[in-house]
Amino acid sequence: MAGIFVSYRQADAKAWAISLRDDLAEVFGADQVFLDKDTLHAGNWRDQIHAALDRCKVVLIVIGPRWLSIPDDQNRPRIQLVDDVHHQEVALALSRPDVTVIPVLVDEASMPRPEQLPEDLRMLCDQQARKIGDTQGRRKADLDVLIKDIEAVGGIQSRPRSDIQNQPAPTSQRQSWFKLDTATLGVALALTLCAAMYAYLSNVPLGSGETFFLLLCFYALVPGAKWLWNKLLKERREIT
């Protein structure tokens, strides 16, 4: 069951909507956020969107700079057309007394004026809007405000931090750790080979036990050396 419906115009704010979906899913859980690209399946998509709106308590209308002006194939502003899907989503959300609509302004967009909207969408201008900034610090602060709004008006609770931390790592992350171990082993093998060749040229050949011991030592030392190098680089960047 999705408690948060993210409505957007693809040609206006698709990337922002997807990013917002990811941020909210991390806080509330993926099952609490509806985005058409993720959730729609075979069948009548209009019925699915209406059903999703029936289950949601909060609808976020993502508004970018071109939200009012994007035209259809006859050069008519799509937001003015009653059969436009996004128009229908906004109108239906505004008609629900049990749903809180929050306009989310992105990419420095401004709220439209009532006279710029069709009659059934003018109530949107009465809703408290929130902005999402495009810098890291501002974005985090703006998201925190939006998340508190959703918790307050939608009765949707964020997941405990322990639930997030205890989730299994994504497959890509597990694979990256495996690749890191393989790379470390490769470096350790190369160092061991160099040490063995040096010992041979010095007329002190290494036995199999000594070679294996060297391999283990290098395998343990390589990650430590990498950590120390990264730490030194970080301290240098902080100084500069």
0.75 cut: is pTM over it?
Answer: no
Question: Given this model, what pLDDT does residue 41 score?
Answer: 63
CA–CA distance, 120 with 142 (Å, rounded to integer) = 28
pLDDT class of 172 with cuts at 50, 70, 90: very low
Query: Which residues, 6 or more positions from 114, have their beta carbon under 8 angstroms from its beta carbon?
Result: 122, 125
8-state DSSP, 3: S
User: In 107-235, at which residue ranges do the beta strands (DSSP E only) sit?
Assistant: 130-132
Q: What is the pLDDT of residues 98-118, one digit of tens each?
A: 899 999 999 999 999 999 999
Q: What is the pLDDT of residues 19-63, one digit of tens each?
A: 999 999 999 988 888 887 555 566 676 777 777 778 888 999 999
Domains of the chain: 4-165 (3.40.50.10140), 171-239 (no CATH)
Give me the half-sphere count of Cα atoms (radius 13 Å) on the Cβ side of residue 9: 24
Mean pLDDT of 164-193: 60
pLDDT surpassing 80 at residue 194: yes
Instruction: Please list the residues that pair with 34 across neighbouring strands.
Output: 5
End-to-end CA distance of the chain: 50
Q: What is the pLDDT of residues 199-214, one digit of tens each?
A: 778 887 778 777 877 7
What is the Cα 210 distance to its own chain's centre? 49
3-state SS class at 154: helix
